[in-house]
Amino acid sequence: MDPISEETRTKALETIGQFCLKPYTQHGKRRTKGDRKGWLEFHDWGHLVLRLYHLYYGTMLDNTTAAAIAQPLRREFPHTKDWNKDVNRKGAHEHIRDVVEQGIASIAGAGAGAGAAATAT
């Protein structure tokens, strides 16, 4: 995969900032079926991974791979009343970006980069 430009990484921080503005009380319930089963209805880390991957590479990532990349974020920033404070603390947005980029690099290193770029439904 091609390196990500600093300008694009800055845009990613803006996207993360917008994602983190939405209070956890408005994230919706967990989906119980479909290819996004287990994701929050309106606002899930998987959605953010999909958006950042599209920003970086101009293609969509499949939902299964996005969910795997988002898993460390779900563990570190659980869906609790402290979510708003945790995701907006100093340095959190940069950390979130780094976790997503590391996840993308790991799938590329595993040879899944080309096969993972499927259209999400």
pLDDT tens, residue order, the chain (121 aa)? 678 899 999 999 999 998 888 766 655 555 555 555 554 454 578 889 999 999 999 998 998 899 899 999 989 998 788 888 999 999 999 999 999 999 999 987 665 444 444 433 3
Task: Specify the pLDDT at position 15.
Answer: 93
Q: Is residue 46, in this structure, part of any structural domain at all?
A: yes
* Residue (of 121, 105, 110) closest to 56 by Cα position: 105
Q: Is residue 64, in this structure, part of any structural domain at all?
A: yes
* Spatial distance between the Cα atoms of 35 and 120, rounded to a whole number of angstroms: 9
Q: Is residue 121, in this structure, part of any structural domain at all?
A: no
* Residue (of 93, 83, 88) closest to 25 by Cα position: 83
Both structure tokens of 97: 């970006």
Domain span including residue 45: 6-116
Model-wide pTM > 0.95: no
Q: Is residue 1, in this structure, part of any structural domain at all?
A: no
Q: Is residue 87, in this structure, part of any structural domain at all?
A: yes
Number of domains into which the chain is organized: 1
Q: Is residue 92, in this structure, part of any structural domain at all?
A: yes
Q: Calculate Rg over the CA atoms of the chain.
A: 14
* Residue (of 17, 32, 36) closest to 89 by Cα position: 17
Task: Specify the pLDDT at position 70.
Answer: 92
